[in-house]
Structure 1
Amino acid sequence: MTIESISAITIATHDMARAVTFYRALGFDDIPYGGAESPFTTFRVGTGFLNLIATPTDKQWSWWGRIIFHVGDVDAVYAKALAAGFSPSTTPRDAEWGERYFHLTDPDGHELSFARPLRR
């Protein structure tokens, strides 16, 4: 048996409208299910999905990991994040492991990385 891929990842939000607005501002435009008023929203990401689930404010979480999204142009996504008024925790840079990337935390504290493999 071989594990072939990740179909989807689901993360929690305390404010679905705020979360949907945040992700749409970054270019997550394909929403096959849900939306700002829904308790569950799905964004299509390549061949997989990013799901958001509304969670009551009494449910808290701490740092749990990072979602890494491969994108066509790291610097363009960074510029889009800045234009939307977001504050990435890093600026785009070339890493020794062979990717250009930057980090950004969403409004619910989930750490995101936007990356692109460097050409060798």
Structure 2
Amino acid sequence: MAQSNASGAVIDAITSDAITIEGLSAVTLATRDMRRSVDFYCALGFEIRHGDAQAAFTTLACGPSFLNIIAETHGPVNWWGRLIIHVSDVDAMYRKARDAGLLPSRVPSDAPWGERYFHISDPDGHELSFARLLNPNEAVTGSTTPATTPTTTGTTRA
């Protein structure tokens, strides 16, 4: 909606009723096998908040956010991108996955964009990246990485 300011110029309305993006609440992933998906995420330390391994829809706690798993049997589940989950200790999370018999696609490593991370795919092929900033202060003050370096968060550093 446009409105005029005191000098008569048309400006975009930015009022107290403007909407602010506050954060990511949840991500919903489709699965062909709910039990297998729930077992996978529980082995990584996610906790069930709603549903269970037999439900058509299950919600798992993911820090202050949620991961929803929905049973989908109508078609193939195709690769769509990557879910990035910040954790307090990337190496401990890697060990937890390995100890549970899960197979990450790479060992934890330090990335040029300032994160330590590793990737693992869930039973339906959704790629997860468990990551932690190497120096949290750099995320606030700026980055020295080259332009267009992709980050695990899906953004590009400028």
The one-letter code sitting in structure 1 at the alignment partner of 2:56 is P
Q: Does 1:32 align with 2:52?
A: no
The one-letter code sitting in structure 2 at the alignment partner of 1:6 is L
The correspondence of residues 1-120 of structure 1 with structure 2, limited to 5 A, is 1-28=19-46, 30-56=47-73, 58-119=74-135
Structure 2: runs of 5 or more not aligned = 1-18, 138-158
**Mapped partners of 1:75, 1:6: distance in 2:** 25
**Mapped partners of 1:81, 1:37: distance in 2:** 23
Deviation at 1:90, TM superposition (A): 1.0
Deviation at 1:2, TM superposition (A): 2.7
Aligned-pair identity (%): 59
What TM-score comes out, normalization by structure 2 length? 0.72
- 2:50 is paired with a residue of what secondary structure? coil
Deviation at 1:68, TM superposition (A): 0.4
- 2:49 is paired with a residue of what secondary structure? coil
- 1:80 is paired with a residue of what secondary structure? helix
Poorly superposed stretches of 4+, deviation over 4 Å: none
Deviations 1:48-104 (A, max 9, x none): 100000011x41132100000000110011011111111111110011111100000
Query: Aligned Cα RMSD in Å?
Result: 1.1
Deviation at 1:6, TM superposition (A): 1.1
**Mapped partners of 1:105, 1:50: distance in 2:** 15
Aligned length: 118
Greater CA radius of gyration, 1 or 2?
Answer: 2
Higher relative contact order (CA 8 A, sep 6+): 1
**Mapped partners of 1:18, 1:33: distance in 2:** 16
Structure 1: runs of 5 or more not aligned = none
**Mapped partners of 2:35, 2:79: distance in 1:** 22
